[in-house]
Chains A and B, each alone.
Chain A
C-alpha cells in the first residue's frame, strides 16, 4: 500500500476512493493521510468517515459529493465544520445528487464529455452548482439535465479478490466501482484475497475490473474496516456510532488520527490495535451453489 500510494497518488490529484457503504478502502485513505498528501480533490457519492478523516487531516482542497452524512448515525462533523465556517481548513464543495454522480462516472468511463438525464427540474441544485446544465435533445426537443464527465487522476477500488495482474471480482453491493475505475487515469485495486488466475477464469461474470486498466494490486485483509466486505466481515456499525462522539470536536479527531493513522506504520499494525474484530465481525457463510459455465 505504501508503494502504491507513493507512486500513484500525488499532491493536487483528483482522487476517488469509491464503494457504496460496502468496500470502502479505509486502508488507502489512511495511507494517503500518513504520506501527507495535500490539495486533493476528493470525489465520492458518500464521503463517509474516510473523507471526514481526510478532510480533518488537511488532505482535501475540494470535495465533490452527493450525500455527506454518517450513514444511519448523523453528521460528518469535520465536513460540517469546514462548510459551516467553524474551523479547520477551508473546503470547496461541488454537490450533485446520487444519480448525478453516477452519471458523471458513467460519462467519464465512456470517455464522453457529459451525460444526459431526466432530472433536477424544480430543485435548487442547479442554482447551487452551475456545472449542472441542460441540453436540448436533438431528436425530441426535450430539455435534459446534463452533468460533466468525472475523470479522476486516481481511483482506489476495494474488492473481495483479484489475481496478481489485477483482474478483480466483486460481489454484493457494487456501487459505482466499475464506472469509477474505467473513468480513472490510474487504478489501485485493494483486495481481501489474492487468487490464482484460474479462480477468476472459473467465474468470469463476477469480474468488475479487468487487469488492463489496473496499475497496482494491493493485498490488504480487513482493508475496508470499519466498512465491510460481503462474505468476509460485517460493517462495524459500533465504530460508525462512536465516530459521532470522536468527531464532534477537532481534538477528538486529531487524537484518533494520532493513534490509529499516524501512530501505526501500516494496516497490520492498525489491526493489532483492534483485537477481537474477527470474533465480532467475521461473516457467516452463505454460499451460492454456483452456475454451469459449460458449453
Chain B
C-alpha cells in the first residue's frame, strides 16, 4: 500500500534521488506503470538506472547494468544534487517529527545513545537540496514524536523560520506517506497535518500513531487501494522475494 501510494506521487520524466528499501520499490513501481521515463539517481553513482532485479543495497551491481550514466560520488553530490538537478528526494527515518524533521542518527543523547542508528548517509543533503522531498515511515508514537532526538535531515525545523531564509534550496518535505494515511506539510507553518486516509482507516487511528495533536485538512482525501496491476507488479515482478513487502 505505502509503495503504491508513494509511486503515484512521482510524475513521468521527473528526476528522483532514490533511497533503499520502500522508496526504491516505489520508484521502480512508478517506472513500471505510469512513469516509464522517471530518471532514478542512486547516491552510489548510477543515473537513469533500470535495475533488472530489485536492488538489495544502494550499490547493487544491477544499478550499473544499462544505466544512462555512472559517475563518482563527488559528481553525484556536486554536479547533480548541489547543482539543483534533483526534483524529488525520497527519505525514510526512524523518527519523523511535527515539522517533518528526520532522525536517522541516535535515539537518546548523541554522546551516549540508547540506540545508535546508521547516521545520515546522503539524507541530510538530499533533504536540503531536493526540490521537494517525500518521506515514508510507518505510524507509531515512537516513530512520530513531537520533536526528534537529533535532526539528521532538516524538514521545516520548528516552523518559525522558513527554510529559504536559512539558505536551503529545496522546499523540504511536502508529504509523509505512512501505513495508514498521508500527512502534508502546512504551506504556512510547515507543520504536518492529516491530509488523506487509507481505505477503512479513521482519523483517530492516525492520531494514535502520532505524538502531537494532529491537525486535519478541512477536507480529508481518500486514498484508493492499490490496483490489481500495482499489486501484481509489486508481488510477482518487483519484489517476489518479499525483501521490502510484508503481509
Q: Which of A75, A119, A124, A143 lies in contact with B105, CB distance below 8 A?
A: A124
Query: Quick check: which of B7-15, B53-61, B175-183, B231-239 contacts chain A, the rest being far away?
Result: B53-61
A83 to B167, CA, bound (A): 33
Are A71 and B58 in contact (CB-based, < 8 A)?
A: yes
Q: How many residues of A contact B (CB 8 A)?
A: 58
CB contacts (< 8 Å) of B70 on chain A: these are: 171-174
A230 lies within 8 A of chain B by Cβ: yes
Chain A residues numbered 56-80 whose CB sits less than 8 Å from any CB in chain B: 65-69, 71-72, 75-76, 79-80
Interface membership of B228, Cβ < 8 A = no
Q: Please count the residue pairs between chain A and chain B whose beta carbons lie under 8 angstroms apart in the complex.
A: 174
Instruction: Assess whether A21 is interfacial by the CB under 8 Å rule.
Output: yes
Interface centre among A45, A84, A177, A179 (most CB of B within 10 A): A84
Smallest CB gap from B149: residue in A? A124
A121 in contact with B128 given A71-B20, A98-B73 (CB within 8 Å): yes
B-side binding surface: helix, strand, loop or mixed? loop
- Judged by a CB distance under 8 angstroms, whether B153 is at the interface is yes
Question: How far is A98 from B113 in the complex, measured between Cα atoms in Å?
Answer: 21
Q: Which of B46, B82, B122, B129 has the most CB of A within 10 A?
A: B122
Whether the pair A84, B116 counts as a contact (CB closer than 8 A) is: yes
A14 to B73, CA, bound (A): 21
Instruction: Find out whether the CB atom of B58 lies under 8 angstroms from the CB atom of A174.
Output: no
Whether the pair B72, A178 counts as a contact (CB closer than 8 A) is yes
Q: Are B128 and A119 closer than 8 Å at their CB atoms?
A: yes
B185 near A: Cβ within 8 Å? Answer: no
User: Inside 8 A of B151's CB, which chain A residues have their CB?
Assistant: 122-124
Within 8 Å of chain B (Cβ to Cβ): is A207? no
The residue from B65, B119, B128, B169 contacting A65, defined by CB atoms under 8 A apart: B119
Contacts of A171 in B (CB 8 A): 70
A234 at the interface (CB under 8 A from B): yes
Q: Which of A69, A72, A122 contacts B56 (CB 8 A)?
A: A72
Known interface pairs A68-B119, A79-B116, A176-B72. Does A122 touch B157 (Cβ–Cβ under 8 Å)?
yes
A186 at the interface (CB under 8 A from B): no
Q: Chain B residues with Cβ under 8 A from A123's Cβ?
A: 120, 124, 128, 151-154
> Considering residues A125, A234, A240, which has the most beta carbons from chain B within 10 angstroms of its beta carbon?
A125
Q: Contact: A175 with B44, CB < 8 Å?
A: yes
Q: Which residues of B contact A71 (CB under 8 A)?
A: 20, 56-59
B43 interfacial by beta-carbon distance below 8 Å: yes
Does B212 belong to the interface (CB within 8 Å)?
A: no
Given the complex of chains A and B, what is the CA–CA distance between A200 and B161 in angstroms?
A: 55
Q: Is B64 an interface residue (CB 8 A)?
A: yes
Q: Say yes or no for A97: interface residue by CB 8 A criterion.
A: yes
Whether B124 and A120, one on each chain, are in contact in the complex, defined by CB atoms closer than 8 angstroms, is yes
Partner of A97, one of B45, B57, B120: B120
Q: Shortest CB–CB separation between residue A233 and chain B, in angstroms?
A: 9
A8 interface residue, CB < 8 Å from B? no
The docked-state distance in angstroms from the alpha carbon of A119 to that of B74 is 14
Query: A80-B116, A102-B77, A172-B61 are contacts. A122–B163 as well, Cβ < 8 Å?
Result: yes
Residues of A with Cβ closer than 8 Å to B?
Answer: 20-22, 45-46, 65-69, 71-72, 75-76, 79-80, 83-85, 95-99, 102-103, 105-106, 117-125, 127-128, 142-143, 171-179, 228, 230, 234-235, 237, 240, 283, 286
Counting from the closest, the 8 A-B pairs by CB-CB distance are A21-B59, A122-B154, A69-B118, A67-B121, A71-B57, A97-B120, A99-B77, A72-B57
